[in-house]
């Protein structure tokens, strides 16, 4: 099978569809992998690393698509990529069609592309195996971003997440106790922040309470509780996900955050 790895063209997207170890495994299995020049550079993988494991480096976006029966991407295709689709081609990517422009769906249908969305791939037990690691990364990055945005130089309140003796830590509210929410709570808690997690599933809250040995607060995500929690939050993390559906920003409405007073808190939405 011919597999293409085009360079991502969306701004600030530095990931790559396949790493050299993944390419190595595919080549050893008898497949041919075409990697666009520079596709892995932003992720720390030079072209030579792909060539060393048997990939063929191509020099244009058109060739990465044109030679491929299966295209492996990260971000959903942009309008400038639609013209590269071939009839019967398979494209694997994060697609998020619920929030995508309608013209993407039209282009996929027009070219009769088999589109496989990573975020909807589930195992029989409901686990999302491809989305899971990216959700872990998103959750653990949340304090890094929040810490920068809380600085006065970033227009924030000048609050230190951990606090210091005599000064309380930042109040962090996480909406959703799934993979993103759990990892965000873990990272914020590790830095010394005061963490509250809200979820509509009592089992998720019980799991979090056991995991953190009661050292973070948990609340049922009723409209009243969300409004109460958001009112005192220095940082608000949206971590609600419904596979194949739009979550934020309508998760605000589902969780009742639209009823909460807005007091200049910092909001991070996944």
Q: Where are the domains of the chain?
A: 2-120, 131-269
Q: How far apart are CA 115 and CA 48, in angstroms?
A: 30
Q: Region 2-11: what's the mean pLDDT?
A: 97
Confidence of residue 98 (pLDDT cuts 50, 70, 90): confident
Res 264: pLDDT? 46
Q: Active-site positions?
A: 96
Tokens of 137: 């990364």
For residue range 210-265, list pLDDT tens digits in order.
Answer: 999 999 999 999 999 999 999 999 999 999 877 666 665 544 444 444 444 344 45
Question: What is the SS3 assignment for 239?
Answer: coil
- Angle of helix 202-211 relative to helix 179-190, nearest 10 degrees, comes to 30
Question: Left, alpha or beta for 100 (phi > 0: left; psi -120 to 50: alpha)?
Answer: beta
Tell the CATH superfamily of the 2-120 domain.
Answer: NAD(P)-binding Rossmann-like Domain (3.40.50.720)
Average model confidence (pLDDT) for the chain? 90
The C-alpha atoms of residue 238 and residue 265 are separated, in whole angstroms, by: 13
Query: What span, in angstroms and rounded, lies between the C-alpha atoms of 96 and 117?
Result: 7
Residue pLDDT, tens place only, 56-82: 999 999 999 999 999 999 999 999 999
Residue 13: which of 52, 37, 39 has the closest Cα?
Answer: 39
Q: What's the pLDDT at 267?
A: 56
Q: What does the block give as tokens for 10?
A: 């969306």
Establish whether domains 2-120 and 131-269 are of one fold: yes
Q: What is the pLDDT of residue 247?
A: 63
The reported pTM is 0.80
* Whole-angstrom distance, CA of residue 214 vs CA of residue 269: 25
Looking at domain 131-269, what is its CATH homologous superfamily?
Answer: NAD(P)-binding Rossmann-like Domain (3.40.50.720)
């Amino acid at each position: 099978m011919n597999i293409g790895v085009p360079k991502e063209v969306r701004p600030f997207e530095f990931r790559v569809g396949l790493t050299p170890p993944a390419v190595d495994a595919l080549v050893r299995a008898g497949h041919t992998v075409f990697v666009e020049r520079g596709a892995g550079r932003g992720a720390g993988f030079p072209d030579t690393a792909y060539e060393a494991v048997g990939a063929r480096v191509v020099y244009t976006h058109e060739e990465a698509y044109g030679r491929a029966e299966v295209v492996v991407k990260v971000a959903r295709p942009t309008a400038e990529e639609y013209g590269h689709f071939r009839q019967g081609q398979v494209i694997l990517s994060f697609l998020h069609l619920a929030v995508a422009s309608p013209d993407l769906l039209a282009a996929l249908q027009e070219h009769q592309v088999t589109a496989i969305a990573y975020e909807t791939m589930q195992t029989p037990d409901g686990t999302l195996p491809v989305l899971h690691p990216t959700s872990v990364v998103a959750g653990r990055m949340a304090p890094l971003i929040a810490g920068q945005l809380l600085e006065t130089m970033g227009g924030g309140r000048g609050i230190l997440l951990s606090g210091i003796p005599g000064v309380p830590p930042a109040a962090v509210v996480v909406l959703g106790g799934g993979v993103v929410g759990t990892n965000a709570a873990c990272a914020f808690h590790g830095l010394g922040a005061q963490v509250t997690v809200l979820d509509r599933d009592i089992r998720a809250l019980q799991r979090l309470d056991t995991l953190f040995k009661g050292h973070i607060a948990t609340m049922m995500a009723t409209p009243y509780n969300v409004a109460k929690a958001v009112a005192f939050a220095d940082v608000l993390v949206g971590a609600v996900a419904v596979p194949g559906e739009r979550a934020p920003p309508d998760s605000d409405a589902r969780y009742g955050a639209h009823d909460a007073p807005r007091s200049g808190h910092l909001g991070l939405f996944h």
